[in-house]
Amino acid sequence: MRAQNAEFERKKAIALTILVEKSIFKNARWPWQLKALWALGLKKRPPLFASFISNAVFFGVQWGGVYGFFMWFTIWKSQGIPFERAVGLCALGGLFFGCAMAGLSYFQARKKQLPSWESL
């Protein structure tokens, strides 16, 4: 387990150095959500080194959850929208947002010619 942690930390340090050298904006290099996951001990790759699916889930779940929470307590509940429909709308919105952000991360990584995580 320690070897895996050391390997992840080594790759993370190299990846972050590359992102600084390629002039990637700080919020794209390491979003606050990613720093929170790292602080909790979770090993999540920086978005520009993660897979499309990983990024889609990472961004989509966050957006859908926050959007759904605020919409439910500010508008939907008072309008009588069924909870199941609200969850479905949040999931659909999260799917679109997650895919859009994952696509943006994918194309930015290609544009900046970043190496794969495995090759670090």
The dihedrals phi and psi of 44, each to the nearest 5 degrees, come to -110, 130
pLDDT score recorded for residue 5: 87
pLDDT in tens, 20-78: 999 998 888 888 999 999 999 999 999 999 999 999 999 999 999 999 999 999 999 99
Rounded Cα gap, residues 49 and 74, in angstroms: 36
pLDDT score recorded for residue 68: 95
pLDDT score recorded for residue 88: 96
Quote the domain boundaries for residue 15.
Answer: 2-119
Asked whether residue 1 carries a pLDDT value surpassing 70, the answer given is no
pLDDT in tens, 75-99: 999 999 999 999 999 999 999 999 9
pLDDT confidence bin for 12, thresholds 50/70/90: very high
Domain count, the chain: 1
pLDDT score recorded for residue 43: 92
pLDDT score recorded for residue 118: 94
